[in-house]
Amino acid sequence: MDTFVLTLTILVALGFAYTNGFHDSANAIATSVSTRALTPRAALAMAAVMNLAGAFLGSGVAKTVSEGLIETPTGNKGMGILFAALLGAIVWNLVTWYFGLPSSSSHALFGGLVGAALAGGTAVHWNGVLDKVVTPMFLSPVVGLIVGYLVMTLIMWIFRRTNPHKAKRGFRIAQTVSAAGMALGHGLQDAQKTMGVVVMALVIGGVETYGDPIPVWVKLISALMLSLGTYAGGWRIMRTLGRKIIELDPPQGFAAEATGASIMFGTAFLFKAPISTTHVITSAIMGVGATKRVNAVRWGVAKNIVLGWFITMPAAALVSAFVFWLINLAFL
**Domain that includes residue 218, residue range:** 3-330
Number of domains making up the chain = 1
Q: Which helix (H) or strand (E) covers residue 271, if one does?
A: none
Q: What angle do CA 262, 175, 141 make, to 5 degrees?
A: 35
Distance CA(318)–CA(321), nearest Å, equals 5
List for the chain the helix, strand, coil content (%; round to 5): 80, 0, 20
Backbone φ and ψ for 124, nearest 5 degrees, come out as -105, 130
Sign of the CA dihedral with 94 first, then 96, 101, and 104 last: negative
Q: Which helix (H) or strand (E) covers residue 116, if one does?
A: helix 105-119
Max Cα-Cα span within the chain: 69
Specify the pLDDT at position 90.
94
Specify the pLDDT at position 270.
85
DSSP letter (8 states) at residue 190: I
Residue 158 in 3-state DSSP? helix
pLDDT tens track, the chain, 332 positions = 578 889 999 999 999 999 988 877 666 677 777 777 888 778 888 888 898 898 898 888 998 898 889 998 888 889 999 999 999 999 998 888 887 776 788 899 999 999 999 999 999 999 999 998 889 888 988 999 999 999 999 999 999 888 988 888 899 999 989 989 988 998 899 899 999 999 999 999 989 888 888 999 999 999 999 988 888 765 555 555 545 556 678 999 899 999 999 999 998 888 888 888 878 888 898 899 888 776 666 666 667 667 777 889 999 999 999 999 999 888 76
Specify the pLDDT at position 29.
72
